[in-house]
Structure 1
Amino acid sequence: MHTDSLGNPLSLSDAASVRAVDDFVMGFISCEARAVNVLSVAQDTSPIVQAYCAALHMFAESRDAVANARPFVARAQSGVARATPREKRFIAAVAAWVAGDIAQAIRLHEEQAHEFPRDLASLKLGQYHCFNVGDCPGMLRIALATLQASADVSYVHGMAAFGYEQCHLMREAEASARRAIAMRRKEPWAHHALGHVMLTEGRLSEGLGFMREVSDTWTGLNSFMVTHNWWHVALFLIDLGHDTEALAVYDTQVWGVVKAYSQDQIGAASLLARFELAGIDVGDRWQDLADHLAQRTDDHVLPFLDLQYLYGLARAGRPEADTLLHNIDAHAPHAPGSTRAAWERVCVPAAHGLRAHARGDHAGAIEGLGLALPRLIEIGGSHAQRDVFEQVYLDALVRSGIEAALTGAQGVLQRQLNGQPESLRLRRQTEAVYRALGLSGVGVH
């Protein structure tokens, strides 16, 4: 029997498929574009080949993804009797994902991590699902279950690092990320995790220097990984006041790699929002992005995605923003059970708040986002990604001019500045609040 590079047995009908299957496994865990090569052997009816192809279609994160994935899942399930036990559980997990049962998918990936801890494609996919529902402990738990058996694989340390970071375990996160990078300098997910640590801890100049230093290795990656790591570079540049360079990173590295891809689109939307919130003029960049977001009005794959599509459309002044908001309201009560609360209790009020902010309705933004923020983790995304929603909320508080709102903004901004004293963005925003409160020169040093 053939095996992949991690030693996992493969029940393949065609020996010629081994290389393409291995490209999926190793490409997926290394964030490399070669993962798509498995589609070149889609004619191989081996159940695991079909399951890997189904997963790739689901990663499109579009309204067509489920329909495109279903035939592959059906073929995988029809031949499951000849699959290995590891393959059977992976197939079941992908089938649960396609059916919208994310809770079941996560359970299966957790079981896989304990029974087959070198199935790192399963680990990566399990972390993806945990991430999308805000289950940070789950991200860490599934990584730690595989760590001992896969300690020789750099990528597992990078995955553990991000799990630690999302659980606010910064020392452990940094140690795991640095171990991964020591084993393999080209480990973009570990770079990403360490970038998160440095941003969270306010090590802005150090973070920018580190990400720049390793950026020469960001080659051959999938568009999400390369654009997202450059997105992190742009965050450091914004906070350090390098506005022109930050815009250049947006233009050359963040937007335009794969404009049709969901993750590239939300990276662009959130970065444009951050530019404007930091007082940087983005020119007509919203319009180009909105041309692509306009196709997303009835996707509803993840609430985290829909919210950023909506804000981008609203900032561009596009009528599709109203269409998407209407569709979110209609979809939420009928969302799959495991994610319905996130749609109803978080996405709906946040969507109304974001549209209000984009149109200058500060009271509406405060009301909608104020309801959503305490439960925002339920829609997924990282702490750094979700921060844009809090920034929008804070901006609405400040622009409202209401003293009680300014008081609330002062407390949040000063605490943030205390944790990130290098941030010129936070310094400017905090100074503006103190001026509005008649406290010019207080608190900002």
Structure 2
Amino acid sequence: MSAAPRPLTDILGNAVTLDEPASLTAVDDFVGGFIACEARAANVLQAAEDTSPLVQACCAALHMFAESREGAPNARPFIARAKEGASRGTAREQRFIAAVAAWIDGDIDGAIALHEEQAQAHPRDLVSVKLGQYHCFNRGDGPGMLRLALAALPHAADVPYLHGMAAFGHEQCHRMREAEASARRAIAMCRKEPWAHHALGHVMLTEGRLSEGLDFLRSVSDTWTGLNSFMVTHNWWHVALFLIDLGHEAEALAVYDREVWGVVPDYTQDQIGAVSLLARFELAGIDVGARWQDVAQRLITRLDDHVLPFLDLQYLYGLARAGRPEADVLLQRIEAFAPTAPAGARDAWVRVCVPAAHGLLAHARGDMDGAIAGLGLALPRLIEIGGSHAQRDLFEQVHLDALVRRGSERTLGAAQGLLQQQVNGQPESRRLKRQLDRVYAGLRLPAAN
């Protein structure tokens, strides 16, 4: 028979209600692992027999992070038990349970509102802060991400991971100076802070500090141990971006083979990381051999997911680049799903994802006019599908490539304007310089200095 609930606190000092006090270790692993991007967050599943509502809600959230069509069905039994016992928990626990339940039900607006309330009422609930940031990120809401972190900061400035969260919020709002300061503060407090490494890598990429960014990420890569697969593969993904731009093509491919693809190849984020990196290789003129085929074998399981438009678009492009007929199936299913998407996300699916999907499929099959038309419609509102600036840059690169390959004076003129601005901001980039030289040759103009 379970013991009576006892007042306990997690590693951040938040009161927790547990039927089995021994479950506190698993809860702390979830809390500490989640905010530190460490794989130990999954240890909460070892306490799944504990019917404590908080434990059940944490297990539900973990299943949702699969970001697949199985996520919500697998999470529902856990959230049902959490809601059934929610009255036994604290107000903080009840709000967290409600936020996870809203996520499972597809009510992301409701979930974000609850996380914002939690940041005000219980600012040391950093799991709630980070989860709220995750939802804002998937909506392209950088200000929302930053607002959540800043609400908690006066009360949890002793936690390095919160400074990392603030850094990425600043970066997504284009506040580069503040982002760098927050990231460096986090790293000074804890050298192993991969989210802060990630945020600072974003800053250096955006500011064109390519050699510095590569050197920085390499210098902290020895700390990328025990992380969840997304965090470790994504930070190496950023290393590969610097290598591509600096012209270190063989090394970039080696990073892909060793650090990006194959860590957890069945995981959605690892799959889109592989797709987006392979696409960037090809756009930079790097031969990827048969690598598309291996990734596509995993992507054929994603035809009915429709969890996030940002994910579906990359599944589609990966299938198309591999020459798989399933790309057409996925396009048809995206078109059918978009009008039925949850209300808060429907516009992004209909107005952004559908035209972008047509444009990506056209590009993958050599139809540059179709690529320009589809992506041209989507790009002005692309932020609505979520992802970071660096991640969404893939779609802009594909559109730019289509303009160049179309080769008319009009499309080359449009490409010149875009590329020259990019070269001005990233003068170290050999990739951009090669592309711009090609454009100037097509326009019968001398190359810029």
* TM-score (norm: length of structure 1): 0.99
Matched, 1:71 2:77: yes
> Residue 248 of structure 1 aligns with which residue?
254
Deviations 1:358-385 (A, max 9, x none): 0000000000000000000000000000
Rounded to whole Å, the distance in 1 between the matches of 2:118 and 2:422 is 40
Match of 1:207 in 2: 213
Q: State the SS of the aligned residue for 1:100.
A: coil
1:204-261 Cα deviation digits (max 9, x unpaired): 0000000000000000000000000000000000000000000000000000000000
Structure 1 residue ranges without an equivalent (≥5): none
Q: d(CA) in 2 for partners of 1:168 and 1:325?
A: 33
For 1:233, give the aligned amino acid. Answer: V
Corresponding residue of 2:366? 360
What is the alpha-carbon distance in structure 2 between the residues aligned to residue 99 and residue 296 of structure 1?
A: 20
CA deviation vs aligned residue, 1:307-361 (integer Å, no higher than 9, x gap): 0000000000001100100000000000000000000000000000000000000
> Secondary structure at the residue paired with 1:221?
coil
Does the residue aligned with 2:18 lie in a helix, a strand or coil? coil
- CA distance in 2: counterparts of 1:292 and 1:168, whole angstroms: 35
Tell me the residue number matched to 2:189: 183
Alignment of 1:46 onto 2:79: no
* Matching residue's letter, 1:333: P
Q: 1-side partners of 2:285 and 2:109: how far apart?
A: 41
Q: In the TM superposition, what is the alpha-carbon distance from 1:440 to its structure 2 partner? A: 3.1
Given candidates 265, 268, 277, the residue that maps to 1:271 is: 277
Q: 2:392 aligns with which of 367, 386, 407?
A: 386
Aligned partner of 2:3 in structure 1 is: none
**What is the aligned partner in structure 2 of residue 116 from structure 1?**
122
Q: Distance in 2 between matches of 1:403 and 1:102?
A: 45
* Residue type of the alignment partner of 2:145: M
Equivalent positions of 1:76-155 (< 5 A) are 76-155=82-161
Q: Which amino acid aligns with 1:60?
A: A
Do residues 193 (structure 1) and 199 (structure 2) align? yes
Read off the aligned partner of 2:125 and give its amino acid letter: D
- Alpha-carbon distance between aligned partners in 1 of 2:209 and 2:16, rounded to the nearest angstrom: 45
In the alignment, the residues of structure 1 paired with residue 69 and residue 338 of structure 2 have an alpha-carbon distance, to the nearest angstrom, of 15
CA shift at 1:403, angstroms?
1.1
Q: Which residue among 317, 335, 351 is the counterpart of 1:345?
A: 351
Runs of 4+ in 1 over 2 A off after TM superposition: none
In the superposition, the TM-score normalised over structure 2's length comes to: 0.98
Counterpart AA for 1:158: G
- Residue number in structure 2 paired with 1:32: 38
Describe the superposition over 1:28-72 as per-residue Cα deviations: whole angstroms up to 9, x where unpaired.
000000000000000100000000000000000011111000010
Q: Whole-Å Cα distance in 2 between the matches of residues 64 and 38 of structure 1?
A: 19
Counterpart of 1:95, as a letter, is: A
Which residue is equivalent to 1:286? 292
Q: What does 1:297-316 correspond to in 2, within 5 Å?
A: 297-316=303-322
2:443 to 417, 437, 440: 437
Give the Cα separation in 1 of the matches to 2:116 and 2:439.
Answer: 46
Residue type matched to 1:387 in 2?
D
Give the match for residue 158 of structure 1.
164
Tell me, in whole angstroms, the C-alpha distance in 2 between the residues paired with 1:342 and 1:142: 23
- Name the % identity: 75
> One-letter code of the match for 2:92?
R
Query: How far apart, CA to CA, are the structure 2 residues paired with 1:428 and 1:440?
Result: 13
Query: Residue in 2 aligned with 1:236?
Result: 242
Residue type of the alignment partner of 2:63: H
Within the alignment, does 1:420 sit opposite 2:426 as a pair? yes
Correspondent of 1:324 among 321, 330, 333: 330
Gaps of 5+ in 2: 1-6
- SS in structure 2 at match of 1:11: strand
For residue 10 of structure 1, give the secondary structure of its aligned residue in structure 2: strand
| Alpha-carbon distance between aligned partners in 1 of 2:268 and 2:438, rounded to the nearest angstrom | 35
Matched position secondary structure for 2:155: coil
Cα distance between partner residues in 2 of 1:113 and 1:371: 37
- Structure 1 distance, partners of 2:438, 2:131, is 44
Cα deviation, residue 80, structure 1: 0.6
Shift of 1:267: 0.3
Per-residue deviation at 1:401?
A: 1.1
Deviation by residue 1:104-143 (Cα, 9 ceiling, x = unmatched): 0000000100100000000010000000010010000000
2:304, 2:373 → 1: CA distance?
25
Residue 266 of structure 1 aligns to which amino acid in structure 2?
I
Q: Which amino acid letter does the alignment assign opposite residue 407 of structure 1?
A: G
User: Would you say how many aligned residue pairs link Structure 1 and Structure 2?
Assistant: 443
One-letter identity of the residue aligned with 1:369: L
* RMSD between superposed Cα atoms in Å: 0.4
Alpha-carbon distance in 1 for matches of 2:308, 2:446: 43
SS of match in other structure, 2:286: coil
Deviation string, structure 1 residues 136-183 (Cα, Å, up to 9, x no partner):
100000000000100000000000000000000000000000000000
User: Match of 1:3?
Assistant: 9
Counterpart Cα distance in 2 of 1:38 and 1:85: 21
* 1:13-34: CA deviation from partner (whole Å, max 9, x where unpaired): 0011000000000000000000
Q: What's the secondary structure of 1:2's corresponding residue? A: strand
Letter in 2 for 1:419: G
